[in-house]
A and B are shown apart, each in its own frame.
Chain A
């Protein structure tokens, strides 16, 4: 019996390099592919940012034209959201975490999973190609507001825009394929004993994020279809011409109906990573597990009815601002529940300050500022003043940067031993953290004040404007921070690649963590469990249990040989496909 299963499990071990590492169906290889692709994109978008921020600081001595500045800003935003945040949190970490943490041998649909990555790769190629067409990439801002984006009379970047929109559609398709896998795997491939209320927080967050994305993206796909028709065929869904009357506001409704849930799609898995790292590094169970789960579900539901706060001054009926202000401010309640629970997890802990924990902590701290400044923008009266100023930029970076970049770094340092079987250097990890964290705050915090001064976003230059001329120092300071931030990624890049090949060999469970992935070898073999089956016997975070114990944690599961599980004759899910 066992030998048959072993042969099945070992099957792909005998496949060639291409099937094992390039067109692989193994969720860990796909996670690594997503991770590395997303990090390369993050570098591209970060370098774009440092170029246009240098332009802003130098103002008169121009290194970019206004048109290329707009294109750089657009591509920075679009890449960071769709080609960095999504593949990192929805691609890499969900792929790595979900099958291991639910005790499955792989995703429910491994072939679809492989397709998901390669469609994403194709979308990346198409997006890159838009940089090299004659009129350059799309320059409309990542929100692609028509009629600026819909009408060739107002802009020259037609080929760049078409490529961008097609790349976006493919990226959505890819993330939907991933999402189907995450939902199915979490719901139906959980191992024995793993009830929904025993799932690690990060899996909950990834599941909810996948569901939110599934519901939110559909209208936008239709919207992009309309926009492409406007651009290519010359229809008038969003265009206003002498003969036809489209509605530019329709796009804003469609875009933000997707756009706001999308922010939560990339934010929730980040919070999940923080929770995992907090629990294992404070040696305490997460405080208020159920509260966090219910709060997350509440925020996910609420995220579908807040989109109007992006449109308070758009020409939408101003009376609609009341309900949207109420829902927007209300969504701070579930988030305050999550944040208070995470803060209380620190209390009475025994905190280990590893690089991973520092990044999780930095993410947590910065996200508090991001969340609180949301209250300014949720208030409709204040939003009229602050809308489309640098205040929005600062707020957005204080929510997205912690939850995407800082949390992903926390996750990379935390799961690197599991993914690559080696450990990253701690000293350089800490150097990386302090440089990144300080650089980020120097970059983003001054921008709040530029926004309060009334400085509009997406301005190529402010030194020719009387009331903003004196605030050029904010741009210079902010650019200094941004350059520092980019520069301090060098230790990470070197540390990452040196550790992949030369790092210290990792044990099975270097952090003495409880969740199921740490039962597997580092790195786990193909199909993860070497013919064993993880069976869940505990809640996910049994750290520092009461009473005398040898270790200060009880693993969530135990590994049982497959035939023993089969002999017990149960139909409970065992991770078989």
Chain B
């Protein structure tokens, strides 16, 4: 049910999920045990006369303190994970480390992925655009710069634990390191019109040398892919 994590920092999401699940399930079970016991023990036919005194059970008010502590645990854990994600992003952008950048443009109802080509620079002649097909190298930092050509979309890659809105008129950035070669789903999660549910794309994580080959001649590479895979019809899309 929970999609396989292939991201370098995805464990923060998964560990928080486990932490919060354990806490909430434990609190829920405790609450329901107390409530169900009260209902059985204090129904009118067994307990004709209510008494105001609570006795030891009134210590249950300290549950609020326990919950407060658990809240602090959750929010601290979550914030450490978050700082890991966004500081990593800020440092990457500032320090121009070794990363691969792809521009993402959301449109009703498809994704365009703009690749810089072998020179790794945008705005040059070897840039090319693929529709609904994101190719990234494995074990490499990838930066996605998102924007939108019409309404708000949201790029969601479940296996990478990545989701970010593509907003018209502004650029948003998202980063990840994919740890496992393979073929993964990409989907749009922000209602963008009647074709919202059709706005699907594929993520292809490939070995580093294959990525070079892809940048070098993506047409040949795509033909190879199309002959191997059941997914076809990805191809060049001229967005201008």
Q: Do A and B bind each other?
A: yes
Would you call B54 and A329 a contact (CB within 8 A)? Answer: no
Closest to A285 in B: B52
A312-325 CB mask vs B (1 if < 8 Å, else 0) is 01110011011001
Q: How many whole Å from A139's CB to the nearest CB in chain B?
A: 7
Closest to A330 in B: B71
Q: With a CB–CB cut-off of 8 A, which chain B residues contact A330?
A: 71, 75
Nearest first, the 4 A-B pairs at minimum CB distance are A454-B158, A240-B169, A379-B78, A283-B50
Closest to A244 in B: B169
A459 to B151, CA, bound (A): 17
Closest to A361 in B: B39
Instruction: Tell me which residues from 338 to 389 in chain A have a Cβ below 8 Å from any Cβ of chain B.
Output: 339-340, 343-344, 346-353, 361, 364-365, 368-369, 372-373, 375-376, 378-382, 384-385, 387-389
A343 to B108, CA, bound (A): 50
Residue B60 contacts which of A248, A340, A459, A552 (CB distance < 8 angstroms)?
A: A340
Q: Does B8 contact A (CB under 8 A)?
A: no
Would you call B13 and A249 a contact (CB within 8 A)? Answer: no
Would you call A453 and B167 a contact (CB within 8 A)? Answer: no
Given the interface contacts A141-B191, A154-B193, A465-B200, does A552 sit within 8 Å of B50 by beta carbon? Answer: yes
A385 to B11, CA, bound (A): 12
Would you call A333 and B48 a contact (CB within 8 A)? Answer: no
B81-100 CB mask vs A (1 if < 8 Å, else 0) is 11001100100000000000
Given contacts A240-B169, A321-B86, A368-B32, 18 further A-B pairs with CB under 8 A are A151-B151, A154-B193, A322-B79, A325-B75, A326-B75, A329-B74, A329-B75, A333-B71, A344-B61, A346-B38, A348-B52, A349-B38, A350-B47, A375-B20, A379-B75, A384-B162, A449-B1, A456-B187
Would you call A382 and B13 a contact (CB within 8 A)? Answer: yes
Instruction: Tell me which residues from 444 to 468 in chain A have a Cβ below 8 Å from any Cβ of chain B.
Output: 449, 452-454, 456-462, 464-467
Would you call A145 and B190 a contact (CB within 8 A)? Answer: yes
Q: With a CB–CB cut-off of 8 A, which chain A residues contact B28?
A: 368-369, 372
Interface 9-mer from A62-70, A257-265, A416-424: A62-70
Given the interface contacts A368-B31, A452-B1, does A313 sit within 8 Å of B75 by beta carbon? Answer: no
Instruction: Tell me which residues from 147 to 197 in chain B have a Cβ below 8 Å from any Cβ of chain A.
Output: 150-152, 154, 156, 158, 161-165, 167-170, 172, 185, 187-197
Q: How many whole Å from A234's CB to the nearest CB in chain B?
A: 16
Q: How many whole Å from B151's CB to the nearest CB in chain A?
A: 4
Would you call B194 and A66 a contact (CB within 8 A)? Answer: yes
Given the interface contacts A147-B151, A462-B197, A544-B49, does A453 sit within 8 Å of B35 by beta carbon? Answer: no
Would you call A348 and B53 a contact (CB within 8 A)? Answer: yes
Q: With a CB–CB cut-off of 8 A, which chain B residues contact A456?
A: 156, 187-189
9 intermolecular pairs with C-beta atoms under 8 Å apart = A288-B61, A315-B164, A353-B44, A375-B71, A382-B17, A382-B78, A384-B161, A452-B1, A467-B3
Q: With a CB–CB cut-off of 8 A, which chain A residues contact B1?
A: 449, 452-453, 471
Would you call A382 and B20 a contact (CB within 8 A)? Answer: yes
A333 to B170, CA, bound (A): 37
Given the interface contacts A314-B167, A333-B71, A350-B44, does A66 sit within 8 Å of B39 by beta carbon? Answer: no
Would you call B189 and A389 a contact (CB within 8 A)? Answer: yes
Would you call B42 and A347 a contact (CB within 8 A)? Answer: yes
Given the interface contacts A382-B16, A454-B156, does A340 sit within 8 Å of B3 by beta carbon? Answer: no
Would you call A248 and B54 a contact (CB within 8 A)? Answer: no
Would you call B63 and A321 a contact (CB within 8 A)? Answer: no
B198-237 CB mask vs A (1 if < 8 Å, else 0) is 1010000000000000000000000000000000000000
Given the interface contacts A388-B154, A459-B197, A462-B197, does A379 sit within 8 Å of B50 by beta carbon? Answer: no
Q: With a CB–CB cut-off of 8 A, which chain A residues contact B152?
A: 145, 147-148, 248
Q: How many whole Å from A428's CB to the nearest CB in chain B?
A: 21
Would you call B71 and A329 a contact (CB within 8 A)? Answer: yes
A325 to B79, CA, bound (A): 8
Q: Does A172 contact B (CB under 8 A)?
A: no
Given the interface contacts A148-B151, A245-B169, A379-B16, does A388 sit within 8 Å of B190 by beta carbon? Answer: yes
Q: Does A332 contact B (CB under 8 A)?
A: yes
Interfacial residues, chain B to chain A (CB-CB below 8 A): 1-3, 12-13, 16-17, 20-21, 23-24, 27-28, 31-32, 34-35, 38-39, 42-44, 47-55, 57-58, 60-61, 63-64, 67-68, 71, 74-75, 77-79, 81-82, 85-86, 89, 108, 150-152, 154, 156, 158, 161-165, 167-170, 172, 185, 187-198, 200
Q: With a CB–CB cut-off of 8 A, which chain A residues contact B85?
A: 318, 381
Q: Does A567 contact B (CB under 8 A)?
A: no
Would you call A384 and B13 a contact (CB within 8 A)? Answer: yes
Q: With a CB–CB cut-off of 8 A, which chain B residues contact A564?
A: none
A376 to B31, CA, bound (A): 18
Closest to A336 in B: B67
A148 to B32, CA, bound (A): 43
Would you call A325 and B82 a contact (CB within 8 A)? Answer: yes
A471 to B154, CA, bound (A): 22
A151 to B108, CA, bound (A): 13
Q: With a CB–CB cut-off of 8 A, which chain A residues contact B195?
A: 66
Q: Does A153 contact B (CB under 8 A)?
A: yes
Would you call A351 and B27 a contact (CB within 8 A)? Answer: no
Would you call A70 and B74 a contact (CB within 8 A)? Answer: no
Given the interface contacts A325-B82, A465-B200, does A543 sit within 8 Å of B50 by beta carbon? Answer: yes
Closest to A283 in B: B50
Instruction: Tell me which residues from 142 to 172 in chain A have a Cβ below 8 Å from any Cβ of chain B.
Output: 145, 147-148, 151, 153-155
Given the interface contacts A145-B152, A348-B42, does A453 sit within 8 Å of B191 by beta carbon? Answer: no
Would you call A344 and B16 a contact (CB within 8 A)? Answer: no
Residue B16 contacts which of A154, A381, A471 (CB distance < 8 angstroms)?
A: A381
Q: With a CB–CB cut-off of 8 A, which chain A residues contact B20?
A: 375-376, 379, 382
The winner among B13, B61, B68, B168 for most chain A CB atoms within 10 A is B168
Q: How many whole Å from A238's CB to the nearest CB in chain B?
A: 10
Given the interface contacts A322-B82, A365-B32, A453-B3, does A248 sit within 8 Å of B67 by beta carbon? Answer: no
Closest to A546 in B: B52
Q: Does A246 contact B (CB under 8 A)?
A: yes
Residue A340 contacts which of B32, B61, B81 (CB distance < 8 angstroms)?
A: B61
A459 to B16, CA, bound (A): 27
A546 to B51, CA, bound (A): 8
Would you call A467 and B158 a contact (CB within 8 A)? Answer: yes
Would you call B192 and A67 a contact (CB within 8 A)? Answer: no
Q: How many whole Å from A514's CB to the nearest CB in chain B?
A: 13
Given the interface contacts A147-B150, A155-B193, does A313 sit within 8 Å of B71 by beta carbon? Answer: no
Q: How many whole Å from B159's CB to the nearest CB in chain A?
A: 9
A353 to B40, CA, bound (A): 11
Q: With a CB–CB cut-off of 8 A, which chain A residues contact B57?
A: 344, 347
Q: With a CB–CB cut-off of 8 A, which chain A residues contact B82?
A: 318, 321-322, 325, 380-381
Closest to A369 in B: B28
